[in-house]
Amino acid sequence: MKTIGLLGGMSWESTLSYYKSINEGVKKQLGGLNSAKICMYSVNFEEIEKLQHLGRWDEAAKILSDAAVCIEKGGADFLLICTNTMHKVVPVIESNITIPILHIADATAEQLLSQGIKKVGLLGTCFTMEQDFYKGRLTDKFGIDVVIPEEDDRMKVHDIIYQELCRGEIKEKSRTVYTQVIDKLREQGAEAVILGCTEIALLIQQQHTDVPLFDTTVIHSDAAVREAIA
């Protein structure tokens, strides 16, 4: 079994979901007392969040690159970055390590295409929804058409992530906001919606909407399990 490298802590609440999902996946596949071989580095999200909102991505990339180097030295065979937003700095991290990065957008795109979905709504931080590092990859590499919420709704989605979900706060009124935004994305032609922030699935699950949801945390974790036991 390969050793999975997890670069987490962004936030720790969603990293916990990764750890649980990956170990459950290995147990399901291999049975018995089998669990995943994991080397994890968890950063202080307070530092990363401040750099994000100040636009100091180079400094954030340096922190994550240093952590990734430690993970590689710890014996990991490949790396998962346990957050959608910080995939913005994947090229910098890749330049500092020799092990491959299992990209969250690639794993998600492959799952979408396997179900015949070519137009999808994207929820996440404003960085993920508005910048090209994520939705551009889905379109350019996989031919998937991506739609995002209108500006006011993007801010609502973003603020709930940082002010509530990353702090472990789950509020029914925020779930209502998200389901309303999802309905609007469907009206824009989205066949499904990507939960493109690893905390969103703490708030929204499939039972809350009839629009198909793609939970990037689960998708990314499942891809890691397949790679680890291949």
Do 99 and 87 contact (CB within 8 A), yes or no?
no
Which pLDDT does position 137 carry in this prediction? 97
pLDDT in tens, 95-140: 999 999 999 999 999 999 999 999 999 999 999 999 999 999 999 9
State residue 20's pLDDT score.
97
Please write the tens of the pLDDT for every residue from 28-57. 999 999 999 999 999 999 999 999 999 999
Any idea how long the chain is?
Answer: 230
Positions annotated as catalytic residues are 83, 197
pLDDT in the model for residue 64: 98
Residue 127 has what pLDDT? 96
Strand order in 3-8's β-sheet? 37-42, 3-8, 78-81
Give the model confidence (pLDDT) of 150-177 as tens digits. Answer: 999 999 999 999 999 999 999 999 999 9
Q: What is the pTM of this model?
A: 0.94
